[in-house]
């Protein structure tokens, strides 16, 4: 995705978890199992659903354990983006779809509202993953409601 140079909008103001994660996903330095398997001996399988490979497209687009969170993101995208942009997005392969979701320019006039939803999705999905993997030892842990 061709994007203008300069300070990215997700770096304005105090950095939230969503902003940090968006940067890490875009930079390819997010510690998903597909990446960790190259560094240390571990499985490439998804930590949440057990799928064969936990990579960026799987995490953002396919993991069934993130369906509810993803549905909220898809709903916002469908409501905010133009039909032309949505048609273009739907025609992309998975890797390019993930890149479009993380992009700062793909969504045109709807970019700001979609960007907020993307960062919320990433933060909530990452918390869920960490809580699943580490339980109460996760620094994202929130005590379940009764």
Categorize the per-residue pLDDT at 7 as very low, low, confident or very high, splitting at 50, 70 and 90.
low
What is the mean predicted confidence (pLDDT) over 72-78?
96
Residue 144 has pLDDT above 90, yes or no: no
What is the mean predicted confidence (pLDDT) over 56-79?
97
Categorize the per-residue pLDDT at 5 as very low, low, confident or very high, splitting at 50, 70 and 90.
low
CB of 10 within 8 A of CB of 23? yes
Categorize the per-residue pLDDT at 146 as very low, low, confident or very high, splitting at 50, 70 and 90.
very low
């Amino acid at each position: 995705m061709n994007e203008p140079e300069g300070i990215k909008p997700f770096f304005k103001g105090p950095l939230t978890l969503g902003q940090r994660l968006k940067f890490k996903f875009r930079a390819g330095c997010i510690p998903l199992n597909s990446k960790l398997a190259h560094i240390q001996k571990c499985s490439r399988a998804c930590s949440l659903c057990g799928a064969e490979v936990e990579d960026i497209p799987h995490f953002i687009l396919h993991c069934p354990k993130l369906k509810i969170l993803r549905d909220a993101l898809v709903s916002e995208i469908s409501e905010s983006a133009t039909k032309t942009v949505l048609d273009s997005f739907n025609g992309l392969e998975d890797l390019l779809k993930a890149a479009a979701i993380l992009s700062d320019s793909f969504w045109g006039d709807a970019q700001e509202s979609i960007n907020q939803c993307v960062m919320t999705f990433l933060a909530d999905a990452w918390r869920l993953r960490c809580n699943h993997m580490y339980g109460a030892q996760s620094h994202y842990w929130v005590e379940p409601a009764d």
